[in-house]
Structure 1
Amino acid sequence: MGMFVMCMFYRGEKQRLEAWSRPVIVKGPLGIVSAMELACLLMFVALLVYSFSTYLSISFSKLKPGQNPMWQAKLSSVALRFGLVGNVCAAFLFIPVARGSVLLQVLGIGNEAGVKYHIWLGHITMTLFTAHGLSYSILFAAGHKLELLGDWEKTGVSIVAGVVALSAGIVMWVTTLKQIRERMFELFYYAHHLYFVFILFYVLHVGAFFFTMILPGVYLFLIDRFLRFLQSRRKVRLISSRILPCETVELTFTKQPGLKYNPLSMVFVNVPSISSLQWHPFTVTSNSKMEVDKLSVVVKSEGSWSRRLFDTVSMAPALEHLDVHIEGPYGPSSCHFLRHDALVLISGGSGITPFMSVVRELVVMSGTLGSPVPSILMICAFRNSDGLSMLDVLLPPSSPSISGLDLRIEAFITRGKPESEGNDRKDKLLRAVWFKPSRSEAPVSAILGPTKSWLWMGAIISSSFVMFLLLLGITERYYVYPIDHNTGDVYPTGAHAMLNVLFVCVSIATMATLAVMWNRRHSPMEMKQIQNLELPTPTTSPSAWSYNADRELESLPQQSLLQATNIHIGARPDLTKMLESYGEASDGSSIGVMVCGPDSMRDEAAAFCSSALAYNFHFESLNFTF
Structure 2
Amino acid sequence: MNLEGSRTFSSTLKISQIGIWWFIVLINLGYIMVWLMMPTDTFFLHWLPVMQAKTDPIYFGKQGTTVLVYTFPILLMATLATLYHQLIQKASNHNTKSKVGFLRKASWRKPLLVNGPLGIISKTEFSFIIMFVLLLIWSLCSYLHGMFENAALQAANEREQVWEAKLENSALALGLVGNICLAFLFFPVSRGSSVLRFFGLTSEASIKYHIWLGHITMTLFTAHGLCYVTFWDKTHQMSEILTWNKVGISNVAGVVALLAGLTMWTATLPLIRRKFFELFFYIHHLYIVFVVFFVLHVGFSYSCIMLPGLYLFLIDRYLRFLQSQQKIRLVSARVLPCEAVELNFAKNPGLCYGPTSIIFINIPSISKLQWHPFSITSCSHTDSDTLSIVIKSSGNWSRTLYQKLSTSSPPSQLDVSIEGPYGPALTFFSRHEMLVMVSGGSGITPFISIIRLLLFKANNEGGKTLKVLLICSFKKSIDLTMIDLLLPVSGTALDTSRLQLQIEAYVTREKQPPTNDRKLNQTLWFKSNALDEPVSAVFGQNSWLYLGTIITTSFILFLLIIAILTRYYVYPIDHNSDLIYPYFLRSILSMLFMCVSIVIVATFAFLWNRKQNKALKQIKNTSTPTTSPGSIYNKIDRELESPPLQSFVQPAKIHYGERPDIKKILSNCNGSSIGVLVSGPREMRHEVASMCTSCSTDDLHFESISFNW
The TM-score, its normalising length taken from structure 1, stands at: 0.91
C-alpha distance in structure 2 between counterparts of 1:364 and 1:534, whole Å: 29
Asked if 1:240 is matched to 2:327, the reply is no
C-alpha distance in structure 1 between counterparts of 2:601 and 2:357, whole Å: 27
C-alpha distance in structure 1 between counterparts of 2:693 and 2:638, whole Å: 45
What does residue 186 of structure 1 align with? 278
What does residue 146 of structure 1 align with? 238
What does residue 116 of structure 2 align with? 28
1:66-465 pair list within 5 angstroms? 67=156, 68-315=160-407, 317-370=409-462, 372-400=464-492, 401-418=495-512, 420-421=514-515, 423=516, 425=517, 428-449=519-540, 451-465=541-555
What does residue 48 of structure 2 align with? none
What does residue 567 of structure 1 align with? 654
What does residue 98 of structure 2 align with? none
- 1:111/1:624 contact within 8 Å kept: no
Q: CA deviation at 1:418?
A: 4.6
Structure 1 residues 243 and 534, CA gap change in structure 2 (3 angstroms): same
Structure 1 residues 322 and 221, CA gap change in structure 2 (3 angstroms): same
C-alpha distance in structure 2 between counterparts of 1:605 and 1:341, whole Å: 19
- The secondary structure found in structure 2 opposite 1:572 is coil
- The secondary structure found in structure 2 opposite 1:564 is coil
Identify which of 576, 595, 605 aligns with 2:688: 605
1:470-485 pair list within 5 angstroms? 470-485=560-575
- The secondary structure found in structure 2 opposite 1:298 is strand
- The secondary structure found in structure 2 opposite 1:226 is helix
Q: CA deviation at 1:103?
A: 1.4
Deviates further, 364-373 or 104-113: 364-373
Structure 1 residues 537 and 43, CA gap change in structure 2 (3 angstroms): farther
Amino acid at match of 1:18: A
Structure 1 residues 96 and 123, CA gap change in structure 2 (3 angstroms): same
C-alpha distance in structure 2 between counterparts of 1:372 and 1:103, whole Å: 35
1:245-290 deviations in Å (ceiling 9; x for gaps): 1000000110111111111110001011111000000010011111
Q: CA deviation at 1:210?
A: 1.2
1:37-56 deviations in Å (ceiling 9; x for gaps): 00111001101111111111
- 1:392/1:538 contact within 8 Å kept: no
Structure 1 residues 600 and 535, CA gap change in structure 2 (3 angstroms): farther
C-alpha distance in structure 1 between counterparts of 2:705 and 2:139, whole Å: 35
What does residue 531 of structure 1 align with? 634
C-alpha distance in structure 2 between counterparts of 1:224 and 1:15, whole Å: 24
1:157-189 deviations in Å (ceiling 9; x for gaps): 111111111111111112212222111111111
Q: CA deviation at 1:398?
A: 3.2
Larger relative helix fraction: 2
What does residue 58 of structure 1 align with? 146
Q: CA deviation at 1:365?
A: 0.5
- 2:103/2:124 contact within 8 Å kept: no
Deviates further, 315-324 or 298-307: 315-324
Q: CA deviation at 1:28?
A: 1.8
C-alpha distance in structure 2 between counterparts of 1:312 and 1:45, whole Å: 49
1:428-466 deviations in Å (ceiling 9; x for gaps): 1111112111122111111011x1311111111000000
- 2:356/2:375 contact within 8 Å kept: yes
1:4-27 deviations in Å (ceiling 9; x for gaps): xxxxxxxxx999942221111101
Asked if 1:619 is matched to 2:702, the reply is yes
- 1:609/1:617 contact within 8 Å kept: yes
C-alpha distance in structure 1 between counterparts of 2:695 and 2:497, whole Å: 36
Identify which of 460, 480, 487 aligns with 2:577: 487
- The secondary structure found in structure 2 opposite 1:132 is helix
- 1:268/1:281 contact within 8 Å kept: yes
- The secondary structure found in structure 2 opposite 1:95 is coil
- 1:264/1:355 contact within 8 Å kept: yes
C-alpha distance in structure 1 between counterparts of 2:312 and 2:643, whole Å: 48
- 1:397/1:536 contact within 8 Å kept: no
C-alpha distance in structure 2 between counterparts of 1:373 and 1:447, whole Å: 36
Deviates further, 610-619 or 190-199: 610-619
Q: CA deviation at 1:614?
A: 3.9
Gaps of 5+ in 2: 1-100, 622-626, 628-632
Q: CA deviation at 1:539?
A: 3.8
Asked if 1:499 is matched to 2:586, the reply is no
Structure 1 residues 521 and 540, CA gap change in structure 2 (3 angstroms): closer
Q: How many residues align?
A: 590
Q: CA deviation at 1:397?
A: 3.0
C-alpha distance in structure 1 between counterparts of 2:255 and 2:408, whole Å: 51
Report percent identity of matched pairs.
Answer: 49
Gaps of 5+ in 1: 1-12, 542-555
Structure 1 residues 372 and 236, CA gap change in structure 2 (3 angstroms): farther
- The secondary structure found in structure 1 opposite 2:146 is helix
What does residue 107 of structure 2 align with? 19
Amino acid at match of 2:499: L
What does residue 577 of structure 1 align with? 664
C-alpha distance in structure 1 between counterparts of 2:410 and 2:104, whole Å: 59
C-alpha distance in structure 2 between counterparts of 1:563 and 1:312, whole Å: 30
1:295-343 deviations in Å (ceiling 9; x for gaps): 1100000011111111112235341111110000001001222222211
Structure 1 residues 180 and 14, CA gap change in structure 2 (3 angstroms): closer
Structure 1 residues 313 and 538, CA gap change in structure 2 (3 angstroms): closer
Structure 1 residues 88 and 355, CA gap change in structure 2 (3 angstroms): same
C-alpha distance in structure 2 between counterparts of 1:430 and 1:182, whole Å: 30
Structure 1 residues 318 and 594, CA gap change in structure 2 (3 angstroms): closer
The TM-score, its normalising length taken from structure 2, stands at: 0.80
Amino acid at match of 1:455: L
Q: CA deviation at 1:520?
A: 1.0
Q: CA deviation at 1:370?
A: 2.2
C-alpha distance in structure 2 between counterparts of 1:385 and 1:225, whole Å: 42
Structure 1 residues 420 and 17, CA gap change in structure 2 (3 angstroms): closer
C-alpha distance in structure 1 between counterparts of 2:407 and 2:572, whole Å: 67
- 1:385/1:417 contact within 8 Å kept: no
1:324-368 deviations in Å (ceiling 9; x for gaps): 100000010012222222111111000000000000000110111
Identify which of 586, 590, 598 aligns with 1:508: 598
C-alpha distance in structure 1 between counterparts of 2:102 and 2:537, whole Å: 35
- 1:398/1:535 contact within 8 Å kept: no
C-alpha distance in structure 2 between counterparts of 1:428 and 1:614, whole Å: 44
What does residue 550 of structure 1 align with? none
- 2:345/2:534 contact within 8 Å kept: yes
C-alpha distance in structure 2 between counterparts of 1:316 and 1:102, whole Å: 46
Q: CA deviation at 1:537?
A: 8.3
1:585-609 deviations in Å (ceiling 9; x for gaps): 33xx211111111111101100011
- 2:104/2:200 contact within 8 Å kept: no
- The secondary structure found in structure 2 opposite 1:592 is strand
- The secondary structure found in structure 2 opposite 1:27 is strand
Amino acid at match of 2:185: L
- 1:609/1:619 contact within 8 Å kept: yes
Structure 1 residues 120 and 521, CA gap change in structure 2 (3 angstroms): same
